Structure 1
Amino acid sequence: MSVTEYSREVPSGLTVHAAGHRTNYYDNGEGPPLVLLHGSGPGVSAYSNWHSVTPLLASNFRTIAPDIAGYGLTEFRADGHYDIKLWAAHLLAVLDALEVDRAVLVGNSFGGALAIATAVFAPERVAGLVLLGTPAGEFPMTPGLRSGWYYEPSPENMRAILREFPFDPGIVTDEMVAARYALSARPGAQEAFRRLVPEPSGADGGTVRGAGAGFLAKVAAPALIVHGREDRVVPLEAGLFAGRHIPGADMHVFGRCGHWVQLERPEAFARQVALFAGGLG
């Protein structure tokens, strides 16, 4: 099935070549740049994470939402070695290609981990960080994180996974399921995903290890930590850990909210981002 056929459910954006990857991205609005970094999981993409909140942010900012290398409609290279250094290099190459010298990075979950790493590796490129449901410190493996690796593509299985993420499972729509399933069902897609993330088993299978205190202390950029109080995928304690150890961090906790603050509370989330990014000068 071609990208065009998948785009019936997941509209393709623009294309740029970055770090050896043909990269799909979405570019909307004008103003100071916000780079929106999606999370991980089967069928995940910039579109699935950000399309509903982008219009709210694009009224004041230029919003750039790339499919991270190996995810979404961006190329997966069978000979590639995917780790945080490759993903950071790919992100910086996207920014170079789009002539963005400095931006606020807005990262959801895995995207937040990528934002933190980029802020440490290339601090001159990062004006600020907004971190949503981002792993930090150590916490027990959760069913939501575990389920992605063992997922077998079907609409029913995709719906079951997605319902783990929000506080109210009712926000998981047929459209959301169809878009994520369409990408996850491409030939070889789940096998590729399993090469992007470690299997949650073995001696360390019970623990998730996010950025540690020493690494977080290296973040020089101002940061806004955003977390859902009822996040069952990455617990609130991870957000509190990041807030304690990033020197320039503030924090906002959303009640009755799970792992997808930007989807569950889009208007309130957009206001928080606008206040934070607009105040950076």
Structure 2
Amino acid sequence: MTAQRSPAIGRTIDAGGIETNYHETGSGFPVLLLHGSGVGVSGYANWRYTMPEIGKSFRAIAMDMVGFGYSACPTDASYSLDYWVDHVIRFLDAMGIEKTNLLGNSFGGGVALAVTARHPDRVSRTVLMGAVGTHFQIPPAFNAGHGYEPAVERMRKLLQNFTCAPENITDEAVQLRYETSMRPGYQATFEKLFPGTREQKMLAMITPDDQIRSIQSEVLLIHGREDRVVPTETSERLFRLIPRSELHMFGQCGHWSHLDQAPRFNRLVIDFFGR
């Protein structure tokens, strides 16, 4: 697999000056899928097994947020929650999407939460999976990618933090993310995405409680009981704050609910969006 032929490279659109890589499948009401922040992540790497299922009922779109995957990775940008929220809105505008459902994983859940709170007119329903976005006690695995130096076996070890089912860490998954992490300029940008301590990284993604309480749309919170990256207390706290929220906890499930409990996860999400 080479960067030029990587399946993670999809279509490109200019989203308000940001060259944005994305994948799309299906038709109907849109579902925008937002990826996590692990080393070598992309919309495709995060959602390649989920998109075909959601695409059977909806227009499923997975974008690479600025600084990640195969979208623009400017080294002089001031990366922040505001910047990523703005990129999502620019992407929706460029795609001609007035309103969408959101599905966000981890970091992408934090972005989806902020978009839902700040731009209620653009969001129908939201699913947050192992999401950040509020205060929590930080476990060691939260910052597992810090100081990463590209190597296939280092990538394999890193990905093992995200699942409690070792069979999910396939050679394909490892190679896919490793190749993305080797993209020219990627490492320099990655170190600038979340500078500082683990605590500063967590605080940088927080949406204030009053904004969270103001959310009036329906929100489904999904979390794996064995999540070692973002603790379950995060979704529990969001459940208490968001008025029209539901919380589903999967047992025998790590940070990647969409893989560890794939059939049940897909049905839960599709049913929620289909109401």
Structures share a fold, TM > 0.5?
yes
Letter in 1 for 2:42: S
8 Å CA contact 1:140–1:208 kept in 2: the answer is no
Which has the higher mean CA deviation after the structures are superposed, 174-183 or 80-89? 80-89
In the alignment, residue 248 of structure 1 is paired with which amino acid?
R
Pair 1:119-2:135 in alignment: no
Cα deviation, residue 263, structure 1: 1.7
* SS of match in other structure, 2:104: strand
Residue by residue over 1:28-68, the C-alpha shift from the partner in whole angstroms, topping out at 9 and shown as x without a partner, is: 10111100000002100001110111111100000011000
Tell me, which stretches of 5 or more residues in structure 2 are unaligned? none
For residue 7 of structure 1, report the CA deviation from its aligned partner.
4.4
Pair 1:43 & 2:40 matched:
yes
Letter in 2 for 1:140: Q
CA offset at residue 142 of structure 1?
A: 2.3
- Structure-1 residue corresponding to 2:60: 63
State whether residues 110 and 135 of structure 1, in contact with CA within 8 Å, keep that contact through their aligned partners in structure 2.
yes
Once the two structures are superposed, the pairs formed by residues 67-146 of structure 1 within 5 Å of their partners are: 67-146=64-143
Determine the C-alpha separation between the residues in 1 that align with 2:210 and 2:166. 36
Report the number of matched residues.
Answer: 273
| Displacement after TM superposition at 1:140 (Å) | 2.7
Cα deviation for residue 110 of structure 1 reads 0.6
How big is each residue's C-alpha offset from its partner over 1:152-194, in whole Å with a ceiling of 9 and x where there is no partner? 1111111111001111233111000000100112233122111
Q: Does 1:262 align with 2:271?
A: no
Higher mean C-alpha deviation, range 36-45 or range 137-146: 137-146
Say if 1:17 and 1:116 are closer, same or farther in 2 by CA, change over 3 A.
same
Alpha-carbon shift at residue 70 of structure 1 (Å): 1.1
| Whole-angstrom CA distance in 1 between matches of 2:24 and 2:42 | 14
Q: Distance in 2 between matches of 1:249 and 1:7?
A: 42
Instruction: Indicate the RMSD between aligned Cα atoms, in angstroms.
Output: 1.7
- Is 2:231 the counterpart of 1:238? no
2:137 aligned partner, one-letter code = P
Given that 2:8 and 2:45 are in contact with CA atoms closer than 8 Å, whether structure 1 keeps it comes out as no
Q: Could you say what secondary structure the match of 1:70 adopts?
A: coil
How far 1:96 moved relative to its partner? 1.0
Q: 2:197 aligns with which of 197, 200, 211?
A: 200
Is it true that 1:25 corresponds to 2:39 in the alignment?
no
Q: What is the identity, as a one-letter code, of the residue corresponding to 1:189?
A: Y
Cα-to-partner distance string for 1:113-162 (whole Å, 9 max, x where unaligned): 11111112211000011000002432232232212121111111111110
Partner-residue secondary structure (3-state), 2:61: strand
Cα displacement (A) at 1:212? 4.4
Q: Which residue of 1 aligns with 2:145?
A: 148
TM-score, length of structure 2 as denominator length: 0.94
- For residues 200-219 of structure 1, the C-alpha deviation after alignment (integer angstroms, 9 at most, x for no partner) is 26xx46x9444443232122
Q: Scaled by the length of structure 1, what TM-score is found? A: 0.92
CA contact 1:68–1:74 (8 Å) conserved in 2: yes
Aligned-partner Cα distance in 1 for 2:106–2:256: 9
Distance in 1 (alpha carbons) for counterparts of 2:140 and 2:188: 20
Residues 154, 36 of structure 1: CA spacing in aligned structure 2 closer, same or farther, 3 A cutoff?
same
Q: Deviations over 1:64-104 (max 9, x none)?
A: 11000110000111221111111111111111111111001
Residue segments in structure 1 that go unaligned for 5+ positions in a row: none
Q: Which sits farther off after the overlay, 208-217 or 223-232?
A: 208-217
Write the distance in 1 (CA, Å) between the matches of 2:215 and 2:191. 29
Local SS of the residue matching 2:2: helix
Instruction: Write the distance in 1 (CA, Å) between the matches of 2:37 and 2:228.
Output: 15
Aligned with residue 179 of structure 1, among 140, 154, 176: 176
Match of 1:248 in 2: 244
Partner of 1:34: 31
Runs (4+) of structure 1 moved beyond 3 Å? 7-11, 207-212
Supply the AA of the counterpart residue of 2:185.
G
Residues 55 and 70 from structure 1, CA distance in 2 versus in 1: closer, same or farther, beyond 3 angstroms? same
- 1:136–1:239 CA contact under 8 A, matched in 2: no
